Structure 1
């Protein structure tokens, strides 16, 4: 096929897609005399003025309702004396449901050293770093419901506010407070922003949700059972967490920890089945929670967040799951000072960018917090707000910046489904594909079972897909409902399939489109509320429109773009006998996938890092 002919119709504005200096990891304390501040590079602005090791202490902090939360405080030491530094410094803290002290299930690994973002590396540059257990979890007192979303409960809504203001008043704090963390601890930063603590100046949330329903119930495909159900004979989740809880320093006989664990009685792990965005949970005891997906979504609090004045540097990875879209919607809906970086790798993955390109996310944390918490004019906020990695880009041009997202120069190109084919040519003849639903499709397989496969001819030239694909799929089924999953993959000439989690899904009965309550980037929006449920009419062609996870990747000449249509997502209910489904591809029912195509930047960056640079 002639992709070149399509690209020639684009109006390209390359000035909006510029290359920045090399992203090689450079120690922020380099003493060469140069001053460089650019993504991944920071020289001459900030020095490691304290010792490499640090002092850690712990205590309880009392919230406004009397509940005590456990906090670890990591403070720098003087290089010469080894004494704890008393100079008031900025404070970075994490509000976590995953154990303030130990990362994962290992008491060998401190959270500040091993959790994504590894903020302990910033202590020697003149920061205090703290971690706090959510109320009702680990060593903190109180009651938790919803586990890693428990900060949205009524009693917990202002815990982050109270911790922030407590930190600001300590003798070792200069009153400038920031937050860090990924996944649920990225979401807890969003929650903190909704209450706007006066001393919270800047946050660095990674891989967080913007609309929680889209993460927990993507495409309206609700789980068949409680995803946190405990197998018979296994310890309850709360019991496993309690066993890993670390007492605070003053609790020499363990009595405080014992009392805190007693306080955890009645923990509600999950809201159970909450299939619609406007559903109520029958398990939560907090009546004020109401519609949980709405209550716990940052998108619900846009006015409060935008009024907070808190600067944000958001981060996400291309190979993420349902958390991936969150930061893209956030940066388009927040009016605060914001930045966004998109790296290669999976969820909360800081190692892959370092291994592939030498890029170190902690350098970005240091640049950002130096600017907002120390007042160092390093130019970070003068840069383009978006910085992203492109898979398969020419060496030296893998990282680029843009002044907006989606990229202003993207051309949305329609690829129509044909007989096993994807083509920019609209269908002219009747056509359809029929299959029996199977439940075993796995992305990245050469010959996937249980899926209908459509591929372009081998490409004449490289093309770059950067942005948010979407699909308009005409289907019918012998059943009155069904789940439809679209996956875009790269097929090499030897048949090797590469997947970067470029996937979207939709439950057919939830297909009704609506006006979005926020900037949805022009993508199809579904309210997913109970009154919108519309069963399929068996045998009647119906159009499904839904978005696909964003990506930036180059498909090389000779490769093929593959679209796999499968019929099961996580949570799909098996039906016996299996329904038969039909995908239509004719002039009256033109099924098509819409790809965001942008021009390829081929100019190398001088001194660009080589692949596989040591971490």
Structure 2
């Protein structure tokens, strides 16, 4: 068939246009939370080269470190190009995560080994005095704050920056204690530390360990009949390459004798550790809290991408306060799931936290302008949101559009209107039965009527309770729960607590987001006068969730938690809910 020349010219142009369009699609660059393409490619092999060695700290103590370097896809040879380094300072074994079948870099939260094929060197180092490292440890998984160990992260960072395979740009990653070790590193501000990805870390450490003035026993406290914990840990310690006969590892283990596992019971923020031998660290809550190093951290300029999960305990608040008090370049992501577990985010929505690590480190350690720092600084997941709307971004936290709404406690009820008639109160006897995740016997329960429309709660709830007791002290716990029409109850660790004797309020030394602040020092202790009502105002852990239409919002008030001492005889507790003593729950509601 003969076509006119004009049509053939048009067709050719169309084909060229389509070809260009396909090319543009192939080369399209996308960088947004959870999606990253066209900026960074996995140019190296999935395999890696692992080497290990000792590096010497400024006081001569030798620290064990593992180094993971990329290999060429074709030849398998180790890449000699200078690359950025991302490392973790860990008390939990640099090599193995729980067993010799699981490499820490592959199995620990953040799995930074995935960065290697994108052109990064990844490293992990044992804390001083733990596993294969020499030296003495005090405080186990917070030992980096004590004595000479305080500058180990500085020395390791600068050593990594000075290696022939390093481009001098160093980052850190880790979760929980290894999120805290990044905070400690920031307080000493190593010049080569450009960026970090701290997950589930504490900001005000007393608020984590002694939440509401209730200092629970450390889970690291050895039991009398158990073998020394350092001996149990050392069985999984991995020798370094130069230690061919294991003699260096045995010498390191010998220095672990006398390890101080915990700081001991320190009930007040200004109290002194009965266990630590380092005098400078004995005021432990002050010494180990990032909130007390704001000037040092802010002067460091180290960029931070903070992460935390909604369904975790008192590590949860840390990043919320950090993002509002750190003046360094910062981002913040809050996902579904429990402590340090980002699998639910990937399974439920496809967001992989590794993508965020790569985007962040590409920007700060490789200089790739992928726009990550132009995005809203806050990115958060909402439970029960419509499909496709689970993730939202915000320019600030708390959300600028939150509205704080009071729900008054009535006779088993929660209501937006305060009932003033009569004298309202509820009485119960404290029953000392506590089990994690369960409501203790003797608790008081208050619920809304079935909701006429869905209600989104995103932010920091608080509760005001007027109470009295026949005892001179007591612990008060408030838990927020969602009750479905069929009676199914769901909660995402939206809980708060306060010891009544520690109720005295103070001006916060940092931005507390308008939430109640207490010094929790011994001088502020105020015993209850039996039978005399007092008001307790305290925060509930932050949450973002939608209470669906037909569901009820439930508040549980209980009197026993981990760390509550038994009082004999068990006291009678009264909760007041009248016009002179209004008790109410305040929820941050987003329209």
Normalised-by-shorter TM-score class: over 0.9
Q: Is the 8 A contact 1:441 1:566 kept in 2?
A: no
Match of 1:264 in 2: 256
CA distance in 2, matches of 1:50, 1:444: 45
> What secondary structure is seen at the aligned counterpart in 1 of 2:491?
strand
Match status 1:494 vs 2:494:
no
5 Å-filtered alignment, 1:462-541, equals 462-541=454-533
SS of residue paired to 1:65: coil
Among 30, 36, 39, the alignment partner of 1:36 is 30
Distance 1:349 1:243, change over 3 A: same
Q: CA deviation at 1:209?
A: 0.1
**Does residue 1:561 correspond to 2:553, yes or no?**
yes
What's the counterpart of residue 409 of structure 1?
A: 401
Q: How far does residue 440 in structure 1 lie from its aligned partner after superposition?
A: 3.3
User: Are 2:125 and 1:132 equivalent residues in the alignment?
Assistant: yes
CA contact (8 A) 2:434 2:562 kept: no
Alignment of 1:28-427 (within 5 A): 32-104=26-98, 106-223=99-216, 225-427=217-419
Q: Deviations over 1:62-111 (max 9, x none)?
A: 0000000000000000001001110000000000000000002x111100
Aligned-partner SS, 1:157: helix
Q: Does 1:547 align with 2:539?
A: yes
Task: Tell me how far apart the structure 2 counterparts of residues 396 and 227 of structure 1 sit (CA, whole Å).
Answer: 40
Kept after mapping to 2: 8 A contact 1:444/1:498: no
User: Residues of 1 paired with 2:495 and 2:195: CA distance?
Assistant: 32
SS in 2 for 1:589: coil
What displacement does 1:297 show? 0.4
Taking the aligned partners of 2:362 and 2:433, their CA distance within structure 1 comes to: 49
For 2:570 and 2:215, the matched residues in 1 are separated by: 19
In structure 2, the CA distance between the partners of 1:124 and 1:226, relative to structure 1 (3 Å rule), is: closer
1:290 Cα deviation after fit = 2.9
Given that 1:467 and 1:552 are in contact with CA atoms closer than 8 Å, whether structure 2 keeps it comes out as yes
Q: With structure 1 as the length reference, what TM-score do the two structures score?
A: 0.91
2: CA distance between counterparts of 1:398 and 1:597? 16
- How has the CA–CA distance of structure 1 residues 226 and 352 changed in structure 2, closer, same or farther, with 3 Å as cutoff? closer
Question: What's the offset of the Cα at 1:395?
Answer: 0.9
Give distance in 2, aligned partners of 1:450 and 1:444. Answer: 15
Over residues 440-467 of structure 1, what are the superposed CA-to-partner deviations in whole Å (9 max), with x where a residue is unaligned? 366766x863210000000000010000
Alpha-carbon displacement from aligned partner over 1:503-557 (angstroms, at most 9, x marks no partner): 0000000000000000000000111000000000000000001110000000001
Structure 2: which 5+ residue stretches go unaligned? 1-23
Deviation at 1:226, TM superposition (A): 4.9
| Paired position in structure 2 for 1:11 | none
Q: How many residues are matched?
A: 567
TM-score by length of 2: 0.95
Shift of 1:32: 3.0
Distance change in 2, residues 1:75/1:505 (3 Å): same
Change (3 A) 1:178 1:322: same
1:374, 1:439 → 2: CA distance? Answer: 56
Does structure 2 conserve the Cα–Cα contact (< 8 Å) formed by 1:436 and 1:578? Answer: yes
Q: Is the 8 A contact 1:444 1:489 kept in 2?
A: no
Structure 2 residue matching 1:513: 3-state secondary structure: coil
Q: Find the aligned partners of 1:159 and 1:364 in 2 and give their Cα distance.
A: 27
Work out the CA distance in 2 between the residues paired with 1:299 and 1:230: 29
Q: Contact 1:441–1:450 (CA<8 Å) still a contact in 2? A: no
C-alpha displacement at 1:33, in angstroms?
2.1
In 1, Cα distance between the equivalents of 2:218 and 2:205?
16
Q: Is residue 203–residue 322 contact of structure 2 (8 Å, CA) maintained in 1?
A: yes
- 1:136-166: CA deviations, max 9, x gaps? 0000001100001100012111100000000
Find the counterpart in structure 1 of residue 453 from structure 2. 461
Provide closer, same or farther for how the CA distance between residues 401 and 353 of structure 1 changes in structure 2, counting only shifts above 3 A: same
Q: Which runs of 5+ in 1 are unaligned?
A: 1-29, 600-615
8 A contact 1:440–1:450 mirrored in 2: no
| Higher mean displacement: 61-70 or 32-41 | 32-41
Q: 1:284 & 1:449 partners in 2: Cα distance? A: 38
Secondary structure at 1:149 match in 2 = helix
Structure 1 residue 574, shift from structure 2 partner: 1.5
Contact 1:175 1:199 in 2 (8 A): yes
